[in-house]
Structure 1
């Protein structure tokens, strides 16, 4: 009897070994050509191989929120200006594409509370630490330890992805990095979390609120994980791409040999097929309507009420599109003379700061203002002294009127205004809403929902890699590579 059982088991293993793997997908559609869409296109090409055709639909411009504009014959970043040094995917992209990191030009920052400067950075590191201690005690040390712990756990994702592990939901991804604590950081506000570890209310009001306003235009009621990402960037170690951050997006699409279609996707629906399920992507292109069939569809554009709306029709069960509200941020690129007296410096020559952040004060008309460097920084480049006209990037909750511009600037040559639906509107408190799903249907994935956990170039790159791995592992039924528990211990054991 034992012999028969062993023989039967051997025959089953032989039959299983002879099963042919499913064929590769013929065509994949990616909706959106920002950093998420461009990165997922590259990662999909890496996973499935060059023989798979990838069509990328972009209704506006390649690069999305990584954008530039021209002032006085020079180009400047108008979108995301910098990238954190811990973003390993972006570092890899820059090397892969033969790009260079832009030369850093030092500058000093200050925080303004609507009435006066409450914190001023100096050129001396030890003096800056002393000032922080003098004003806020050890709150800044507790903050630093909290941010470093969060980032250390977040960095585990690169090791998981190097071994081709993927996660079917953002909650599972976060749980693999830091357990339930990391998931809870999407439900609890950054203010509540920091108060819980002994950070003073004054430090939160003066410093944390200013950093959060400068990054997201919102209050310290944003989720703790969003806040941790934002505060990690505020501690320095930031860089940018020489020639513009958007070069990463166009470079990845070119490297992937993707077919970029300048068209707006309006609907996605299932298509009856005797083989693998297909999806029909409907689009508008220069006033004409069309549709194409795909094996897989990746939605890498944020689905929000006032922006990219896609209808998902004829799905069973119906797809409930995760449409949320996004927060409006206004960027004004001003070429002019800063009014230094507004910040308490009657003589502009004595104004030493290249950026000013505003606390969450009802009296403040801006979130932040920054003296910009062009996207190409030559060896001999120097910042304009404060008494000369410079290019400033002003973030504000609404377009600045003439009176407000005259308040911030003595005079100006030009003002260019960009209104962004830039970030999720996180709400007035730690929200209990579930995070948007990644898997919308068997072969339809939503990448941009990760922004509700944390939004940054780094998170978009990580989410892109996760979606590419998830689609690949599910296509070839590699269940052992999806939603595995205790991965950190498992990888240590394997190594």
Structure 2
């Protein structure tokens, strides 16, 4: 979608700076003790935890995965339109996402680089709600890079430098001596990212960098809006830097990114219960009671705020009470994101709406600065062309878009039957990525672990998978030590 922008930014090569960690698999000890583990949530975090538990423990660990949905993947899901799969959530990942890349390669999944739809010679444009304020021609050439520098000065180079420095710090979380970490708040401070997650992007950029206001408003804010549905004034600085991390291009799995998680779950050997919501878990002397069975350990692998889960202590005459999770899991507001797919007979004709006639519209990102009102959508992109010759478009927005609004945006007021079909999905897709001073505990109660404390730090498929892997490693050590101490 926006790889054209990032290819321009990332083409100013400043060196690798150690962005790709060495993740060569290491031999781990076999756990001789049988342990039972419940995982609530079959998304990136839960499937990763199950898979890495099976790797670390090899055998004799019984894992059961519960999920309220009828599919594996959580917030990563596909939709089929005229025989082709399109991503409803978790659309892309990047080359430094080593867990996803390794997972895809291990299971021989087809990794592709998203391309502009065949025959689409359009540009990526930025819309401020009133006019198209910037266009990015397709592809890369030196003269286009020079024009980019002419428009934004040295800001693209500065942005690339700070992004790479930031990602380099983040990638320390993958390796010893920091991995595995028992406190996300502590390890974030150790790698030097506390200030970035505690400061809004606008303030941090103006205080610590030479990235100009024009680049911030036109480019970076367009990227934070398409990635996290947030403006620079409200999103923390680490999230803004991550939005630039696709400099080497974006990737996706042909047929759906959730295939990685399907394969992780399958390879783990876990018992899977889909369509199986868990409303409460109970801590007792016998362990954790989940769905009528006792487990030694529980991993909550879904955002707690949207889990409808009660955590209770005490059964069978014990002092029964709710565990006060507010002290352990900070309240994290999530974005209510509306995803809309449009199938049409014709391409977008945006002359009336966007003010340019005879223009080849492809991807439209948005930005907004006072005094302009918020645009109706966050992004609009042509996702593909079906074998029947129909066009597939995808929009992100804060609110539901009616058919009438879509017809107006696409310029089909006089030919409303051009709109063939609309698919809509509403997600609590990711946190609002507001500045934060403290992150949730990894272990929120004895032997109860939580993956989604990672979300307000950085919310991606990769980071949730990393959180699951981290907890699997912590559990491996605990189970092993418990056996040795018996």
Question: Which residue of 209, 229, 243 maps to 2:221?
Answer: 209
Aligned to 1:152: 168
Match status 1:193 vs 2:204: yes
Conserved? CA contact 2:84–2:386, under 8 Å: no
Conserved? CA contact 1:25–1:295, under 8 Å: no
Match status 1:174 vs 2:188: yes
Match status 1:358 vs 2:354: no
Structure 2 gaps of 5+ residues are 1-29, 118-122, 315-320, 413-417
Aligned to 2:87: 77
Match status 1:423 vs 2:430: yes
Aligned to 2:61: 52
Cα shift readout 1:128-152 (whole Å, capped 9, x = no counterpart):
3223322222112111111011112
Cα shift readout 1:99-134 (whole Å, capped 9, x = no counterpart):
120254247422111122222112333233223322
Match status 1:320 vs 2:319: no
Conserved? CA contact 1:299–1:445, under 8 Å: yes
- Deviation of 1:477 after TM superposition, in Å, equals 4.0
Conserved? CA contact 1:164–1:469, under 8 Å: no
Aligned to 1:343: 354
Cα shift readout 1:174-226 (whole Å, capped 9, x = no counterpart):
234x23xx122111111212112122222212221111111111121211112
Structure 1 residues 73, 23: CA separation in 2 closer, same or farther (over 3 Å shift)? closer
Instruction: List aligned pairs for 1:16-35, cutoff 5 A.
Output: 24-35=33-44
Structure 1 residues 120, 299: CA separation in 2 closer, same or farther (over 3 Å shift)? same
Q: Distance in 2 between matches of 1:463 and 1:448?
A: 8
Matched position secondary structure for 1:30: strand
Conserved? CA contact 2:337–2:398, under 8 Å: yes
Aligned to 2:159: 143
Match status 1:117 vs 2:128: no
Cα shift readout 1:351-405 (whole Å, capped 9, x = no counterpart):
0x531101035241110011114xxxxxxxxx589xx741011001101123321
Cα shift readout 1:215-242 (whole Å, capped 9, x = no counterpart):
1111212111122212213x35210011
- Deviation of 1:417 after TM superposition, in Å, equals 0.5
Conserved? CA contact 1:25–1:296, under 8 Å: no
Match status 1:230 vs 2:243: yes
Q: Distance in 1 between matches of 2:158 and 2:112?
A: 32
Q: Distance in 2 between matches of 1:74 and 1:319?
A: 46
User: Whose radius of gyration is greater, 1 or 2?
Assistant: 1
Conserved? CA contact 2:204–2:237, under 8 Å: yes
Structure 1 gaps of 5+ residues are 1-20, 283-290, 374-382, 479-495
Conserved? CA contact 1:171–1:435, under 8 Å: yes
Q: Distance in 1 between matches of 2:469 and 2:253?
A: 21
Query: Normalising by structure 2, what TM-score?
Result: 0.81
Cα shift readout 1:395-428 (whole Å, capped 9, x = no counterpart):
011011233212222231011110001111334x
Instruction: List aligned pairs for 1:374-453, cutoff 5 A.
Output: 389-409=390-410, 410=412, 411-427=418-434, 430-432=435-437, 434-453=438-457
Question: Which residue of 47, 66, 69 maps to 1:38?
Answer: 47
Match status 1:258 vs 2:270: yes
Query: Normalising by structure 1, what TM-score?
Result: 0.80
Structure 1 residues 22, 271: CA separation in 2 closer, same or farther (over 3 Å shift)? farther
- Deviation of 1:328 after TM superposition, in Å, equals 0.3
- Deviation of 1:23 after TM superposition, in Å, equals 5.8
Conserved? CA contact 2:341–2:395, under 8 Å: yes
Matched position secondary structure for 2:217: helix
Cα shift readout 1:1-22 (whole Å, capped 9, x = no counterpart):
xxxxxxxxxxxxxxxxxxxx99
Instruction: List aligned pairs for 1:237-248, cutoff 5 A.
Output: 237-248=249-260
Aligned to 1:462: 466
